[in-house]
Each structure stands twice: as structure tokens, then as C-alpha cells.
Structure 1
Amino acid sequence: MSARDRLLALFVAVLWGCNFLAVHYTLGHFPPLFTGALRFLVIAIPTMLFVPRPKVKLRWLIGFGLGFGTGQFAFLFLAMNLGMPTGLASLVLQASAPLTVLLGSVFLRERLTPRQLGGILLAVGGMAVIAWHQAEHAVLLPVVLTLLGALSWAVGNVCARQARPENGLHFTLWMSVVPPIPMLALSLVFEGPAADWHSLATLNTANGWTAIGGFGYVVVLGTLVGSGVWTTLMNRNPANIVAPFSLLVPVVGMSASFLLLDERPALVEVLAGVVVVGGVLLGSLPRRQRSAEAVLAVSSSS
């Protein structure tokens, strides 16, 4: 993985860390499943009209849309609506990284090194501590929903890797065509048309304008920019190298939530988060080159 790609992966981590704040403000006005449907609908319509369909197998496009789009955000938005703290959600969702590495090892036959396995075990251990601590406070369900969102994200990552699109942005845009119908159907069943309509009819309020701002960030920066760059990175690098960078998202998410939302996680959760971040560093940092020739080769390629 080149130095440029590592910087791009860090850039996406910053975008997605702040994205959790935007989701928090959006869910303060819109029902969660309806939010997911709207998020992808506003991208899907112009995509179908103006963006060429990527030349990939349909099953990988649908799989990416159902995993990365529908499953991840349906579970995440429901979890946050049920009380999952914003900063903690940004941490727990990153279980997608070790899950992606495991799925990549099983389905893509990507080699799992001992160091990557150690990083996975560290990350899983940190997640387990957080789940245990939340269960003690009777809020386990939001954590479970967030973990299901992480699993959906991992499935989407594997589908993106298999699709190998020539244009990552076009692939991401066309992925947005998949989620609106299933998410809108779920919203109508579980949230009701009255709640959906009320959120639209009351947009011209202070709370509504705040939600519009958050929604705009989620669509443009979180989805178009972040997901487009991420998919490109997944296309030209092994999934088990790219995916662990997503574990850096909670560094931004938890810091921003502390500063702007005054969320103060328990000490045990902070320590567990440090363990999780340690897992990504262990699993994704490049190996030290033992020879001067190898060092020179790496430097010239960067």
C-alpha cells in the first residue's frame, strides 16, 4: 500500500469520524430507517440519470448495496436512535475491520498473517469489553445492533473487493440504487407513514435546519467522498490491508463527541478503545524491511 493510499485512508477516517456527529443531528429530526432511505434516494436518482453503470457483475453490486448500504446503516441508525452514544457507535462499528479480514481470509483466500491475527484478537477483545460494560448498564441492544451493522459493512467490503470496479466512485454511486426501496419499506412498516411525513412537513424549524445540515454532510462527505475513496482503495489494495484503517475512525468520532456533545465514556470504554486502535496499528503497519535494497525500493515507490 503506497504512502498516498495510506494518507487517503486516514482522510476517510476523519470524514467518517465526523460523520457520526452529522448522523446524531439528523436523527434528532428524522426517523432512523426513513433517514437511511432518504440518504440513498437523493443519490440514486441523479446516479441513474447521469452516471454510467459500472461494468461489474450485478450480484456484487447488489451485495455491496445490501451490505454496505442497507444493512450497515439500518442497524446503525436504529442503534443510535435507541440510545447508542455517538462516540461509542463510531468505535463499535469498526468491528467491521476484523470481520472484513476474517471474511477476506475465508472467501477471498487472502493470506492472514500472525500479526494480523494478533491485531484482530486485540480488536475483538476491546469490543468484548465494551459490550460487557454496556450490558452491565442494561443497554446491550444498541451495541448488538451496531455490531450487526459492522458485519453488514464487512460483507459489503468483500463484495466490493470481488467486484473490482474500474471506477470506484461510479460503483459507490450505483450502490445507492439498492438501499432506498428496502429501507423505505421497513420504515413504512415499523415507523409508520405519519412519522415520515411529519419529519418532512416540519423541516422549516430550527431542529429541521440542523437536521438538513447533518443530512447534507452525510450524503456529500460521508457517502460520496468517503465511500468513493474507500471503494477505490479497496479495489487496488488487499482488503486485509485497507479495512483496519477504519478502526481509526473512533479516534475522531469519540473526540468530536466529547468536545461537541459532552459525551464522557467510562474509563473502561476508553481503555478498550485504545486496545482496539492498537489492533489496527498492529494489523496494518508495514513490515520493517531488513535490507537496504528493500528500504530503497519502498522509498522510491512512495
Structure 2
Amino acid sequence: MTRKDGLLALLVVVVWGFNFVVIKMGLHNMPPLLLAGLRFMLVAFPALLFVARPKIPFRLLLGYGLTISFGQFALLFSAIKFGMPAGLASLVLQSQAFFTLIIAASVFNERLQAKQFAGIALAVIGVLVLVEASLNGQDVTMLGFMLTLGAAFSWASGNIFNKLIMQHEARPAVMSLVVWSALIPVIPFLLASALFEGPGLMLQSLIEIDTITLLSLVYLAFVATIIGYGIWGSLLGRYETWRVAPLSLLVPVVGMTSSALLLGEKLTSLQLLGAFLIMAGLYINVFGLRIWRRKLIKG
């Protein structure tokens, strides 16, 4: 990977990590389902006027949009609204990697390797530690935590649809899939907002929308989604997946750091332990015990 592309990859990681701070800021004056709906509305319009529709079966596009867009972000935005720290959410959301492995093993009969079992085991222990911290009332609501896990599961389900889409003979460009799938959740978000948040609150939020919320929407829609996925998709198209994908492990590092610096979020020792175990599980899932083996060999 060239230095320029390496810097672009790191830029996307920073953008996606900072995304969680922006979500928290956007929620200060707007309910979560409405905020998410407006985000995807801005992603879809007017971009779909300039981006060709992916030539894939509508059922795949629908499944992808309802899982990776609607399900994931309805639950994630709600989780942060209901007390899940933004930084911790950026990490717990990465448990989607393990949900994806488990679902793929069932759907595609993919065999899990030893490193993946080890990674899953470590991550599960980390999640249990965070649950214990939540039950002890350490600044993490159980509702927010469970909603974040639900968001991770929805993301993982979307990954399965993504694999089916990419296996289709009319494999679409990344930007085509991002833009047109963003159209799918707009109506579900608005309906869900009307049902759970109420038309009155929706109208009030739109009338009283402020600069912070507007800037948050611009960031979420254009910077994190269109620009972020555009660059990431371009890199995946030019380099092997193993060169690009592992860099996403840095997203929760940026998320937790930026949340600590800008939102004043602090983790207890128990939460830090849980976060470390999940991060270690993610690392082992991708790299195995490569570094430790190298050290043993050198030693």
C-alpha cells in the first residue's frame, strides 16, 4: 500500500471513530430514530440521481438496507441516547465480527478456525465483564448495552446480505450499494420515529433544529458515509482485503479516545478490562497469535 493510500485508510478510520462522538452530539436536540432517518435521507438524496442502481435482486437490496442500515443504526442511535457511552459503543459494536462468523458458519457452512474460537471466547468474557460493570451501575445502562449488542448483530446480518450481493453475477460498485441501500431505511425510520417518538416531538425537533444537529447530519451522511465508504471501497478494490480490513480495528481506539477527550467519558477499571478483552479477541480473530509466536521464535 502506498503512503498516500495508507494515509487515506487512516483518515477513514479516524472519521469512523469520531463518528460516535458526532452521533452523541447530534442526539442532544433530536430523537435517535429521526436523526438516523434524516442521515440516510441525506445519503440517498440527491446522490441516487447520479449513481446507477445496483443490478441485483431487490430482495437482497432490501435485506441489506433493513439490517445494516435500519436495524444497526436504529439500535445504535437509541443505545447512545439511552446512556451507552459513545466510546464504549464504538468497541462493543465491533462484536459484529464474531456474530458474522457465527451466522456465516450456519448460512454458508464456513468452518471456524482455532484462532476464531479463541477470539470469540475472549470477546464473550469481555462482554460478560461489561455486563457485570453495567449491573453494578458503573455508568453503563443495561438497556444501552443490550441495544448496542443488537446493533452489532444487525450489522452482522447485513454482512451476510453483503456477501450474497458480492457473490451475485452483477456485483455492484460499493458506492452504488451504499447510496441505493440508504433509500431502504428512510421510510421505516420515519414510521418508527412517528410511532415511538411521536409526531409532536418529530415536528418540534425539525422546527428547533440547531447548528450542532445540522453539522452532525452533514458529517454522518456525507463525511462518514459517502466519503468514508467511497474511500474504503476504493482501497478494497485496489488492495488485498487483508491489507485494508484489519485497519478497522483502530476505529474503536479512535472512538474511545475522542470520546474521552471531547465528551469527558471515563471508563472504570472493570470496563477497561472488558474493553481490553474484546479488543484482544478482535485482534486474535484477525491475526491469530502471530506476534506472540514471532517473539517466542526470536527469543
Shift of 1:11: 4.8
1:191 has 2:193 as partner: no
Question: Equivalents in 2 of 1:241, 1:100: separation in Å?
Answer: 20
Question: Equivalents in 1 of 2:80, 2:17: separation in Å?
Answer: 15
1:166 has 2:172 as partner: yes
1:108-257 equivalences under 5 Å are 108-137=108-137, 139-164=141-166, 165-203=171-209, 208-229=210-231, 246-257=248-259
1:48-87 equivalences under 5 Å are 48-87=48-87
SS at match of 1:84: coil
Equivalence for 1:14: 14
Contact 1:130/1:269, CA 8 A, preserved across alignment: yes
TM-score, length basis structure 1: 0.84
Equivalence for 1:92: 92
Question: Equivalents in 1 of 2:234, 2:246: separation in Å?
Answer: 15
Question: Equivalents in 2 of 1:105, 1:236: separation in Å?
Answer: 28
Cα RMSD for the two superposed structures: 2.8
CA distances 1:23-69 after superposition (whole Å, capped 9, x unpaired)? 01110111110011101112223233221101222222111101110
Shift of 1:192: 1.2
Instruction: Give the length in aligned residue pairs.
Output: 283
Contact 2:72/2:150, CA 8 A, preserved across alignment: yes
Structure 1's consecutive aligned runs of 4 or more residues displaced over 3 angstroms after TM superposition are 2-13, 227-248
Shift of 1:263: 0.7
Question: Equivalents in 2 of 1:23, 1:176: separation in Å?
Answer: 17
- Give the counterpart letter for 1:261 in structure 2: L
Equivalence for 1:277: 279
Equivalence for 2:266: 264
CA distances 1:104-131 after superposition (whole Å, capped 9, x unpaired)? 2222333421112211221222122112
Contact 1:95/1:123, CA 8 A, preserved across alignment: yes
Question: Equivalents in 2 of 1:286, 1:278: separation in Å?
Answer: 10
Equivalence for 2:32: 32
Equivalence for 1:293: none
Contact 1:161/1:239, CA 8 A, preserved across alignment: no
- Give the counterpart letter for 1:227 in structure 2: Y
Shift of 1:235: 8.3
Contact 1:103/1:155, CA 8 A, preserved across alignment: yes
After superposition, the Cα gap between the structure-2 partners of 1:58 and 1:190, relative to the gap in structure 1 and judged at 3 Å, is: same
Question: Equivalents in 2 of 1:6, 1:106: separation in Å?
Answer: 35
CA distances 1:181-210 after superposition (whole Å, capped 9, x unpaired)? 01100101111112111122123xxxx111
Contact 1:71/1:153, CA 8 A, preserved across alignment: yes
Question: Equivalents in 1 of 2:8, 2:115: separation in Å?
Answer: 23
- Give the counterpart letter for 2:155 in structure 1: W
CA distances 1:223-245 after superposition (whole Å, capped 9, x unpaired)? 11333455677889999998765
After superposition, the Cα gap between the structure-2 partners of 1:193 and 1:240, relative to the gap in structure 1 and judged at 3 Å, is: farther
Structure 1 range deviating more: 156-165 or 40-49: 40-49
Contact 1:172/1:231, CA 8 A, preserved across alignment: no
Structure 1 range deviating more: 126-135 or 19-28: 126-135
CA distances 1:159-218 after superposition (whole Å, capped 9, x unpaired)? 111101331111111110100001100101111112111122123xxxx11121122111
1:104 has 2:110 as partner: no
SS at match of 1:160: helix
